[in-house]
Amino acid sequence: MLINDKEYRTVWMEGCTVFMIDQNELPFEFSILEANGYQDTCHAISHMIVRGAGAIGATAGFAMAQAFLQAPVKGRKEFIAKARYEIESTRPTARNLFYAVERVYVAGEESVEKAVITAQDVADEDSRDSRNIGKHGSALIKDNFSICTHCNAGWLAFVDYGTALSPVYHAHNEGKKVFVYADETRPRGQGARLTAWELFQAGIPHVIIPDNATASLMAQGKINIMIVGADRIAANADVANKIGTLEKAIIAQTFNIPFYVAAPTSTIDMNCDSGADIPIEERGEEEVLYQKGIDKEGKIREILVCSPGSHALNPAFDITPSNLISGIITEKGIINADRAGIQSIYSQD
């Protein structure tokens, strides 16, 4: 993605330092955070400075490589084991995190150099897979289509290109006229803050809509297709994604709107038989109770937007059953959202 005429990835590593776009500051400020050790990188993941399935995976891979680089000679094995536990504890739902950590950990047992190379491979593969998802998914988007998406599954959520937005970018680059309805995605507003910012940077026509406006727009025939991302896909094709995805899928089925999930195969967890086996992260209530924005004087402020004294429940994800999904767009092609479709991915290897 070009920002101020400079190409950026969401996250990258130089030496022992991990650099990442600070997504908590967007869209009001664009800044790069430096994480000088694996614990700093863990903090960035758990506090959503970097977020999104692929970006979390790449960042976790870099964190694991940092741990190998930092490990002392004495107590080295214990240090690395502790680091792995801390990294894997940052975001329990995101499958890509565990995929990346496992690959880098196994490589690091051979050598520190191999750990660093493997972490970079994970990031490069994420970018490549996202680009290929765009190529396959763009075939679903016809000229003058209006696409609805939920949360942010664009380039900010991955190393580059993204998943749910990658087909939109590809279709746009092919010369198709596209329009995007971006769900605001409470409570953190990733759609309103990140997806909208990305689309603006790319020059793609779009509008932010309240989360509860999607059904009305579908009823009016204003949405042609819905594409969302995924944080983990079970072996039966049930999908964990940002909270609110389930209700969008139900609404889409009601109005006969195609509902697609876009995700790389690294998001598939064959050890999860169904969505019932996917852990759902519970985040702090302050994300619901408080919102950050710019006041009339141009100052960034965080304010309480809910009833003082009330508490909030904040599940970060929900499970969309496979029978509500039209198909899954992967880097290898579009597959059926069922057990056979998932298995077909592995028969291609």
Q: What is the mean pLDDT of residues 204-217?
A: 97
Dihedral sign computed on CA atoms, order 19, 23, 25, 27: positive
Looking at 126, 129, 183, 231, which residue is catalytic? 231
Q: What is the mean pLDDT of residues 199-221?
A: 96
Helix axes 95-108, 76-88, angle to 10 degrees: 170
Cis peptide before 27 (omega within 30 of 0): yes
Is the confidence at residue 2, as pLDDT, over 90? no
Is the confidence at residue 18, as pLDDT, over 90? yes
User: pLDDT, tens digit, for every residue of 226-235?
Assistant: 999 999 999 9
> Using CA atoms, how far apart are residues 293 and 238, in angstroms rounded to an integer?
35
Asked if 239 and 325 count as a contact pair (C-beta separation under 8 A), the reply is yes
The confidence score (pLDDT) of residue 304 equals: 96
Asked if 301 and 291 count as a contact pair (C-beta separation under 8 A), the reply is no
User: pLDDT, tens digit, for every residue of 319-341?
Assistant: 999 999 999 999 999 999 999 99
User: Where do the domains of the chain lie, and which CATH numbers do they carry?
Assistant: 2-130 (1.20.120.420), 142-347 (3.40.50.10470)
Q: What is the mean pLDDT of residues 69-90?
A: 96
The confidence score (pLDDT) of residue 349 equals: 59
Is the confidence at residue 348, as pLDDT, over 90? no
> Using CA atoms, how far apart are residues 271 and 154, in angstroms rounded to an integer?
27
Is the confidence at residue 31, as pLDDT, over 80? yes
> Is 22 part of the annotated catalytic residue set?
no
Per-residue confidence band for 298, with pLDDT thresholds at 50, 70 and 90: confident
The confidence score (pLDDT) of residue 226 equals: 98
Per-residue confidence band for 207, with pLDDT thresholds at 50, 70 and 90: very high
SS3 state at 37: coil
pTM for the model stands at 0.93
The confidence score (pLDDT) of residue 1 equals: 79
Per-residue confidence band for 73, with pLDDT thresholds at 50, 70 and 90: very high
The confidence score (pLDDT) of residue 36 equals: 97
Q: DSSP characters for 44-98?
A: HHHTTSS-SHHHHHHHHHHHHHHHHHH--STTHHHHHHHHHHHHHTS-SS-HHHH
